[in-house]
Structure 1
C-alpha cells in the first residue's frame, strides 16, 4: 500500500509538459501493473517475520521489517510533498555530500513543519490501518488457519515472481544508463540502484581527479594577457543558501545588508542586478560554477572539465581554499575542489584529523566570523603570478538559528512586514538574522584585502525559499524556479587597483545590469584575467564585449532534468 501510494502521488505531482494531469484510466493501468509487484514486497516482509519458530526472533524481525518499510516510505513521501520527486541519483549525490552535523541541523529545521507533520499523519494512518487488519486476522484466525500452507506456497511464488520482476526491470535500466522508472520500481529498487549509480559517480570522480592530476601539466594555457601588469590577489567568497530576495540591496524591505549597501552607495562595490544559480543544491551548483562545465554541456559529466583551481594553478597563481564547511562527505566541496589547492585551511572542526573527533556533535557553534582568523594573503605565499583564494562560507545554511552569534539577533517579530504565526515568524527571523550576519562577515572579509592589490567576488551557491514563493506561500526549502535560485553577486576592487586600472573597474560596472547565471563564473573570471584555453568562449564571459546577454538560462532540478528559468 505504501509503495503504490508513493507512485500514484508522484504521477499526480508530475503532470505532462503541457501541464495536463494524468487521466484516470492511466492511473488504473499503473495500479494494474504495479499492484501485484508491490504486493510481492509486502508478502516478502510477512514471510520473513513468520518463518522463525522462536517468538523473540519474530519480534526482532518484525521491528526490522517495520523500520525498513516505513523509513524509505517516509523519506520519499517527504520529498514528494516538498519537491515532487522520488529518490534518484542526484538526491543520492546530495546525501553523500552531507555530513552528520548538517543532517542533524536539517532534521531540526524540518521538525514541526507542515510537510513533516503531513508525513507523520499519513504514516500514522497507514500504521493504524495495518494494526486494524492484524487484529481482524487474529480475531478470525480460525476461519483461515487451515489454509496457511497453501497461502505460504502462493505467497512464496508471488514474492519470487514479483520482486524478481522489479529487480530485473531496475537492473535493465541501471545497466542501460537511464534513471530508474518511477512507475516501474519500489523504494527498494530506487534506493539500491540509484545509490549504486551515485557511488559509480564517486568512483568516476575519483578517477577523474586522478586523471586531472596526471593531466595537469598537459593543460595548455594558449595565452595569458592579464589586464594587471603586477601580481594581484583574487578572492572568491563562496556563499551558501543566501537568497538575494532577502537582501535589502536587492529590494527586501528590511535592512538586512547595511554594510554591502553602504559600500555600494560609496561606489566601492558593484552589485549585479539579475543573477541566478544553475541549481538549488550545493553539489549541483558548484560543480558548474567552479569548472568550465556550462549548462550547454548538460549531456557530459562535469568532472570531464578543468576546475577553476586547476586552471589558476596552471596559469601560475598560488591557490588556497579556506572553509567553514565540513570536509567529510564523498561529494563535499573540500573533497572535490579544496583538496586540490596549494593550501587548505578550515575553521575548528571542519577538517578533522580523525573521524571519531569529527562525529562529536557537541562541537561548539560554528560561525563564519571564524574565517577571519585564517584568511591568507599574497605576501604569505612564495612566488607565483598572483594569489587565488576561495573562502567558502556556511552562509545561511539550515539550521538558520545556528548560523549567527546571539549578538547578531537583530530582527524581531515586530519588524516583519507580514506576520505568519509564531513558528513561521521564528523560522523567517532566523533566516533574516543569518543574512544580516552574513553581510557583516562578507564585508569584513573584503576589508581584510582593501590595503593590497585585490579583486574580490562574492556570490552564493544557490538561494532559499522561506515562505516567499507566491505559488506556494507556506513552502520553505529548495525550488527550481527564480524564487529558489536568485542569488547575490558582487565584485570589489581595492582602492589601489581601482586607481591604477580604471578600465577594469568600468568593465565591471558596465555589466552590472546584464542577466547572468553563475555556471559561467569560471569562464568569466579566466576571461577577465586574460587566461585562454581550448575551453574559452567569450560569449560566456560576463565582462567581454562578446557576452551573450540573451543566452537562455536553465536550471537543473533534483532529478537531474534541465528546465528553463521561470
Structure 2
C-alpha cells in the first residue's frame, strides 16, 4: 500500500521514493528494450542514457508543478497515478522486449486493439501465467522500494539549479538533434525518448490510424482501370491460398524435423502413401502427388497484423512509403480478372478494423466460423460445403485463414491428435529447461501435426479439378530457439515459415510449363511480402505493378534481394 508522505512546505520539492521508482523503472526496463539493442531511436548510440535523462526531466518537472498545489490529497493522488503509469509502461516494455524481442509501437497497439476476449484469455493462460512468479516478485520489490526512506528535499534555489542544468543539457542535445534529423522528426524523436509520453504518442497515433482505416472501408469499391491487367486464355480456374498461423518450418517433419508430424505432406513429397504408423485416422491418399516444398522462405514480420499489411497486396519493403491500404490487392484483382472470390476464416469476424478483416472485404464473399479462435480448423470444411461449393463459378479464388498454431498450442488440436509427448522430441539446441518448457514444445509439434491433417482435407476438396494450392504461414514462432522463451519474436527463427505449392494432376496435365517453373524455384530465397508478384503470373494474371524480379517462379527473379524483416533486421540463417 502506498503511504502518503508529509509534503514539504511551499517552495520546496521532495523527491520521495515514488519519484525514484517512477524514474528508475523505465530505465531498468530499457536494458531489455529492442531500442537499446538496436542502438536506440533512429539508430543513434546512447539510447538508454538519453531515455533516463528525458525521464528524469519529465518527472522532475512534474514534481515541480505539484509544489504549486495546496491540496495534499490531490498531490498524493497525482503522484500515485504517475507512478502506476510509469510502472505499467515499464513492465510492458520489459515484457515485450525481453520475451518477444518486440518494441512498444503502433503494430503492438494495433494487435491489442484487434484482440478479442478469447485470444486475451489464451495469451494470459499461455504467456502471462507461466511468468506469474516474476510478476509477483516485481510487485514485492516495488512494495519494498516504496517502504524505503529515500526522500531528497530540495529548496527553491537547489531546484532551480538542477532545472537549469537539465535545460542546458536539453538545449545541447536538441541542437545536435536538429543538425542530425529532419525538422519534422525533431519533436517525435524527443517524445520517443521520454517515458509515458512515448507510450501516449504511440497510443494516440494508433487510435487515429484505427479510425482512419475504418473510414477507408467506404472507398473499397473503387474499380480498377480496365487496362490495368490482362488474363491469359489458359488461366488457372481454381486458385487456393491457405494462410496458416504461427507455423515454423523448423518444427515440421516435411522440412527434416526429427519428429514425423507431417505424415501427409511428407508422403506427398516422397510420392508414396502417407506414413501409417502414427496415423490416428485412415485417410485416402491422393494419386500423383505434386507437392513443391520451398526451403528458404521467411515472413517480413513476426506478427499477424503487419504481415497481412503486405501479404495480399503490392506493399513491400521497397515501397513502404505508400500506405498498404492504397496498394492494389489480390481480392480486387481476381474479381476484375473474372474470378469469384471467397474468404473463409477460423479467426475473428470482421467487426473490427484489423488488417485481415479489412482485406476480406475485398473478396466477393467472406465467411467466418461460428465463434472466433475455434480450436478446430476443420470447422472450415463444412463452411466450404455449405457456402462455397454451391456458389463456385467457372473461375474461383478461395482463401482459407487458419488458426493453426496460435497460442495456446495445446488448444489448437483435438485431444486425439496429441500424439507426440516430450520423450519423442530432441531438445538439443533448444533452451527448454524444465518439463513445462518441454511440454510446450510437444504441444506446438502436435498443433503442426493437426495442421497437416487439415491441409490433407483441404487438398482433397480440389481433387480432379484444375487447381493450384498455395500454403504458407503468416509468420513463425521462436520456440525456445534463441532464448528461454517462446512465441512471437523478431528473430530469424520467428520468421522462418513453411511455403508450399500443391498442383493437382489435372493442373499438371494442362500446365506442364508452369510445373517446371515452380519446380526450379524451390531453393530460391524468398520473402512473403512478394507473394502477389509470384501468385498472379503463375495463374495467368498480369498487372502493371507486377515485377519479374520479385516473381519467385520467373527466371528473372532477383535472388540477391536483401531480405529485411521486422523493419530493420537483415535476415541470415541461424
Would you say same fold, with TM above 0.5? yes
Partner of 1:417: 426
Tell me: CA distance 1:35–1:250, structure 2 relative to 1, closer, same or farther (3 Å). Answer: same
1:497 Cα deviation from its structure 2 partner: 1.8
The whole-number CA distance in structure 2 between the counterparts of 1:119 and 1:105 is: 18
1:421 Cα deviation from its structure 2 partner: 1.5
1:443 Cα deviation from its structure 2 partner: 1.4
Partner of 2:268: 263
Q: Which of 536, 554, 561 matches 2:546? A: 536
Q: Which of 220, 224, 227 matches 2:231? A: 224
Partner of 1:37: 58
The whole-number CA distance in structure 2 between the counterparts of 1:487 and 1:186 is: 36
Q: Pick which of 340-349 and 180-189 moved more.
A: 180-189
**Secondary structure of the residue that 1:441 maps to in structure 2?**
helix
Partner of 1:242: 247
TM-score between the two structures when normalised by the length of structure 1? 0.80
**Secondary structure of the residue that 1:389 maps to in structure 2?**
strand
Q: Pick which of 436-445 and 371-380 moved more.
A: 371-380
Partner of 2:569: 563
**Secondary structure of the residue that 2:494 maps to in structure 1?**
helix
Tell me: CA distance 1:182–1:251, structure 2 relative to 1, closer, same or farther (3 Å). Answer: farther
The whole-number CA distance in structure 1 between the counterparts of 2:457 and 2:517 is: 25
1:123 Cα deviation from its structure 2 partner: 4.4
The whole-number CA distance in structure 2 between the counterparts of 1:349 and 1:92 is: 23
Partner of 1:335: 357
Is the CA contact (8 Å cut-off) linking 1:245 and 1:486 kept in structure 2? yes
Residue by residue over 1:238-262, the C-alpha shift from the partner in whole angstroms, topping out at 9 and shown as x without a partner, is: 0000000000111110011111101
Q: Pick which of 388-397 and 91-100 moved more.
A: 91-100
Partner of 1:252: 257
Q: Which of 439, 442, 451 matches 1:438? A: 451
Is the CA contact (8 Å cut-off) linking 2:214 and 2:353 kept in structure 1? no
The whole-number CA distance in structure 2 between the counterparts of 1:177 and 1:234 is: 44
1:201 Cα deviation from its structure 2 partner: 2.5
Partner of 1:272: 294
Structure 1: give runs of 5+ residues left out of the alignment.
138-142, 351-362
**Secondary structure of the residue that 1:77 maps to in structure 2?**
helix
Is the CA contact (8 Å cut-off) linking 1:400 and 1:430 kept in structure 2? yes
Residue by residue over 1:325-364, the C-alpha shift from the partner in whole angstroms, topping out at 9 and shown as x without a partner, is: 01267443442211221111111113xxxxxxxxxxxx9x
Within-5 A mapping of 1:138-157: none
**Secondary structure of the residue that 1:256 maps to in structure 2?**
coil
The whole-number CA distance in structure 2 between the counterparts of 1:76 and 1:440 is: 38
1:407 Cα deviation from its structure 2 partner: 0.7
Is the CA contact (8 Å cut-off) linking 1:11 and 1:22 kept in structure 2? no
Partner of 1:358: none
1:534 Cα deviation from its structure 2 partner: 1.8
Tell me: CA distance 1:256–1:226, structure 2 relative to 1, closer, same or farther (3 Å). Answer: farther
Q: Which of 338, 342, 365 matches 1:320? A: 342
Tell me: CA distance 1:90–1:111, structure 2 relative to 1, closer, same or farther (3 Å). Answer: closer
Q: Which of 417, 426, 431 matches 1:408? A: 417
Partner of 2:19: none
Is the CA contact (8 Å cut-off) linking 1:7 and 1:183 kept in structure 2? no
The whole-number CA distance in structure 2 between the counterparts of 1:119 and 1:498 is: 56
Within-5 A mapping of 1:338-357: 338-350=360-372
Q: Which of 314, 339, 358 matches 1:292? A: 314
1:552 Cα deviation from its structure 2 partner: 1.8
Q: Pick which of 34-43 and 498-507 moved more.
A: 34-43
1:120 Cα deviation from its structure 2 partner: 4.5
Is the CA contact (8 Å cut-off) linking 2:404 and 2:412 kept in structure 1? yes
Residue by residue over 1:144-182, the C-alpha shift from the partner in whole angstroms, topping out at 9 and shown as x without a partner, is: 9xx9xx89xx79x98xx99xx9xxx9xx99993689448
Tell me: CA distance 1:491–1:12, structure 2 relative to 1, closer, same or farther (3 Å). Answer: closer
1:382 Cα deviation from its structure 2 partner: 6.1
Q: Pick which of 90-99 and 512-521 moved more.
A: 90-99
Is the CA contact (8 Å cut-off) linking 1:239 and 1:461 kept in structure 2? yes
Tell me: CA distance 1:221–1:33, structure 2 relative to 1, closer, same or farther (3 Å). Answer: closer
Partner of 1:367: 376
Tell me: CA distance 1:63–1:441, structure 2 relative to 1, closer, same or farther (3 Å). Answer: farther
The yes-or-no answer on 1:130 pairing with 2:151 is no
Q: Which of 535, 538, 547 matches 2:557? A: 547
Partner of 1:355: none
1:62 Cα deviation from its structure 2 partner: 8.1
The whole-number CA distance in structure 2 between the counterparts of 1:46 and 1:126 is: 25
Is the CA contact (8 Å cut-off) linking 1:208 and 1:304 kept in structure 2? no
The whole-number CA distance in structure 1 between the counterparts of 2:225 and 2:203 is: 34
1:399 Cα deviation from its structure 2 partner: 1.2
1:541 Cα deviation from its structure 2 partner: 1.1
TM-score between the two structures when normalised by the length of structure 2? 0.79
Structure 2: give runs of 5+ residues left out of the alignment.
1-22, 272-288
1:386 Cα deviation from its structure 2 partner: 0.7
1:126 Cα deviation from its structure 2 partner: 2.7
Is the CA contact (8 Å cut-off) linking 1:212 and 1:306 kept in structure 2? no
The whole-number CA distance in structure 1 between the counterparts of 2:186 and 2:50 is: 23
Q: Pick which of 43-52 and 333-342 moved more.
A: 43-52
The whole-number CA distance in structure 2 between the counterparts of 1:47 and 1:242 is: 57
Partner of 2:516: 506
1:285 Cα deviation from its structure 2 partner: 1.2
Is the CA contact (8 Å cut-off) linking 1:292 and 1:520 kept in structure 2? yes
**Secondary structure of the residue that 1:321 maps to in structure 2?**
strand
The whole-number CA distance in structure 1 between the counterparts of 2:305 and 2:395 is: 28
Is the CA contact (8 Å cut-off) linking 2:296 and 2:525 kept in structure 1? yes
The whole-number CA distance in structure 2 between the counterparts of 1:270 and 1:178 is: 50
Is the CA contact (8 Å cut-off) linking 1:223 and 1:533 kept in structure 2? yes
The whole-number CA distance in structure 1 between the counterparts of 2:300 and 2:450 is: 25
Residue by residue over 1:264-303, the C-alpha shift from the partner in whole angstroms, topping out at 9 and shown as x without a partner, is: 1114311112111111111111211110112211233212
1:70 Cα deviation from its structure 2 partner: 2.9
Tell me: CA distance 1:175–1:27, structure 2 relative to 1, closer, same or farther (3 Å). Answer: closer
The yes-or-no answer on 1:479 pairing with 2:451 is no
Tell me: CA distance 1:213–1:44, structure 2 relative to 1, closer, same or farther (3 Å). Answer: farther
Q: Which of 319, 331, 335 matches 1:309? A: 331
Is the CA contact (8 Å cut-off) linking 2:213 and 2:353 kept in structure 1? no
Tell me: CA distance 1:464–1:85, structure 2 relative to 1, closer, same or farther (3 Å). Answer: closer
The whole-number CA distance in structure 1 between the counterparts of 2:451 and 2:69 is: 53
The whole-number CA distance in structure 2 between the counterparts of 1:268 and 1:217 is: 35
Is the CA contact (8 Å cut-off) linking 1:45 and 1:65 kept in structure 2? no
Q: Pick which of 66-75 and 401-410 moved more.
A: 66-75
The whole-number CA distance in structure 2 between the counterparts of 1:49 and 1:329 is: 48
